[in-house]
Amino acid sequence: MKIVVIEDNPEITEIMDYILKDDGYEVISSEDGSITNKFVDIKPDLVLMDELLPGKRGSELCRSIKDNDAIKHIPVILVSTMPNLEQLAEKSGADGFLEKPFNISSLSALIKDFAEKLRK
């Protein structure tokens, strides 16, 4: 399973990268949303996206993904410290959310849940 992590904080990117690779996933990291322009070629199975990114917010990028017929099938999980993250995720069309700070088991469980859904 290929996961794209869009996160501008290098420490968080490093932690997520380590956890996900340790769980056996292929990980592609980006510090801004420009990578979404390459999703047709990258073909990610899942996207973990921070809300507070340089340029467009994660929720705006998520809405753009969900409005694009070629890539709208890709599940997007918003990851943030923002209050009301659940409502923000719902409004943007995100498939899920993960509040920061998160623990390793929460991240792993969320990813495994999405991996199982993709297999069905």
Per-residue pLDDT of 20-47, as tens digits, reads 999 999 999 999 999 999 999 999 999 9
C-alpha 37/C-alpha 54 separation (Å) is 15
Angle made by CA atoms 27, 95, 102, in degrees to the nearest 5: 60
- Check if the beta carbon of residue 79 is closer than 8 Å to that of residue 51: yes
Statement: residue 120 has pLDDT above 80:
no
Q: What is the mean pLDDT of residues 65-72?
A: 97
CATH number at residue 22: 3.40.50.2300
Write out the residue range of the structural domain in which residue 60 sits.
2-119
Where does residue 43 fall: left (phi above 0), alpha (psi -120 to 50 degrees), or beta otherwise?
left
Work out how many domains the chain is built from and give that number.
1
Token pair for 89: 């995720």
Q: What pLDDT does residue 115 have?
A: 86
